[in-house]
Amino acid sequence: MSQPVHVTVTGAAGQIGYALLFRIASGQMLGADTPVRLRLLEIPQAVKAAEGTAMELDDCAFPTLDGVDIFDDARAAFDGTNVALLVGARPRTAGMERGDLLSANGGIFKPQGEAINAGAADDVRVLVVGNPANTNALIAQQHAPDVPADRFTAMTRLDHNRAVSQLATRTGARVADIARVTIWGNHSATQYPDLSHATVGGRPALEVVADDAWVTGTFIPTVAKRGAAIIEARGASSAASAANAAIDHVRSWVHGTPAGDWTSAGVVSDGSYGVPEGLISSFPVTSEGGAWRIVQGLEVDGSSRARIDASVAELVEERDAVRVLGLV
Ligand code: NAD
Ligand code: LMR
């Protein structure tokens, strides 16, 4: 076996952490031949719970797990790390305004960006899961000037998987027969789940569905508001499906996307499709040679344009709000 890949997970004692760590440790993220060293970052009050999870990880005797280290200090947790999964975030609580939420998260993602800049491995790849994921990723990225900007990403793979699943259910196709679904914009209710280039068994999805009212009246709002629907049903936000999406995101990033298909990820915009340069927005992406590439040349009709613009406008607003706070 090769040298262990160091994987830092923040918020390791939270619910996503619990659904995520065992899958990373068992090789589902990086492969059965790649040993991993887990580095768990928590706030001091949650370190004991993280220690309990580490005991359970030991008890699994995973052949791919090289060991587990627990930290309450970001600099130590990111030192030498190859993959950083930033899951821990400050949830919105009663009476909290949007500005308060952005400011509280700035207090987490600014120092974490600085710590990644200071000590992460040269090949570090960062996935931000903690909400508001796109803007948290932007804050971290802006505080890591020595790390190539394209190593910072935000998770919209869960939205992508939700869209694939809804389309498969509607058409009776298998998930494996669905390709080229896209999530554009923000990981929020303004996101645009786009079927205009999607295929079902090689046929245009919109032709197979043949029901515009379903696309605009059911599909798009169901995917965009799925996070809220899960919270309503479970009394807690999605955890296993979010962990699964994080695994999918990193696996695609490291091992590549299948020929003829793409996925969705929040990546730093290069100005493609009119999304302002530097924003971390979801795009259709492929991964080749360990790097994301935005799929180019897709036709964007008027209705798609308006939906992309609306979600990107929200990202601009969030960026402007954290700029006022001095966070970017
Ligand atoms: P949780 O509250 O169960 O766990 C969060 C953990 O983060 C807690 O253990 C907390 O102690 C820890 N934490 C807080 N601040 C920290 C810091 N500065 N450093 C390290 N750890 C810290 O929450 P969860 O259900 O695991 O969700 C985590 C985040 O993921 C939330 O922001 C949630 O909204 C978000 N989320 C995103 C997606 C997505 O698709 N992008 C999907 C689901 C959930
Ligand atoms: C989700 O999409 O399930 C979460 O981002 C919802 C949330 O607000 O935590």
Percent of the chain scoring above 70 in pLDDT: 100
Residue 96: predicted pLDDT: 80
Residue nearest to atom 1 of ligand 1 (CA): 14
The residue nearest atom 2 of ligand 2, judged by CA position, is 227
Which of 318, 252, 298 lies closest to 109 in space, CA to CA?
318
Rounded CA gap, 71 and 47, in Å? 8
Please check whether residues 262 and 292 belong to one and the same domain.
Answer: yes
Determine the pLDDT at residue 121. 98
The candidate with the shortest Cα–Cα distance to 223, out of 238, 244, 201, 243, is 238
Report the separation in Å between the CA atom of 309 and the middle of ligand 2, taken as the mean of its atom positions.
22
326 in a domain, yes or no?
no
- Do 145 and 175 belong to one domain? no
Please give the distance of CA 38 from its chain centroid, rounded to a whole number: 19
pLDDT at 138: 98
Q: Are 124 and 147 in contact (CB under 8 A)?
A: yes
pLDDT for residue 92: 78
Choosing from 154, 170, 185, the residue where a domain stops is: 154
Kindly report the CATH number assigned to the domain that includes residue 53: 3.40.50.720
Asked whether residue 308 is marked as a ligand-binding residue, the answer is no
Kindly give the number of the ligand 1 atom that is closest to the alpha carbon of 11.
7
Q: Which 3 state secondary structure label does DSSP give 85?
A: strand
How much distance in Å is there from the Cα of 32 to the middle of ligand 1?
27
Residues labelled as active-site residues: 187
pLDDT of residue 270: 98
DSSP summary character for residue 63: T
Annotated ligand binding at 120? The verdict is no
40 assigned to some structural domain:
yes
CATH number, domain with residue 314: 3.90.110.10
Structural domain for 132, as ranges: 5-154
Q: Which atom of ligand 2 is nearest to the CA of 133?
A: 5
Strands 199-200 and 280-288: unpaired
pLDDT of amino acid 94: 78
11 labeled binding residue = yes
Q: What is the pLDDT of residue 34?
A: 97
Q: Residue 86: nearest ligand to its CA?
A: 1
Residues in the chain: 328
Cβ 295 under 6 angstroms from ligand 2:
no
Q: Is the CB of 238 under 6 A from ligand 2?
A: yes
Predicted local distance difference test score (pLDDT) of residue 100: 84
Last-in-domain residue among 104, 122, 154: 154
How far apart CA 148 and CA 270 sit, in angstroms, is 13
pLDDT at 101: 86
Give the pLDDT confidence score for residue 1 in this predicted structure: 64
12 is in an annotated binding site: yes
- Counting as low any pLDDT under 70, the low residues of the chain are 1
Ligand 2 binding pocket mutation candidate from 231, 249, 282 (most atoms within 8 A of CB): 231
Sign of the torsion formed by the C-alpha atoms of 127, 128, 133 and 139: negative
- DSSP output for 172-224: T--GGGEE--EEEB-SSTT-EEE-TT-EETTEEHHHHH--HHHIIIIIHHHHH
pLDDT value of residue 261: 97
Which pLDDT value is given to residue 316?
98
> What ipTM does this complex have?
0.99
Same domain, 50 and 141: yes
Contact predicate 20/50, CB 8 Å = no
Residue 325 within any structural domain of the chain:
no
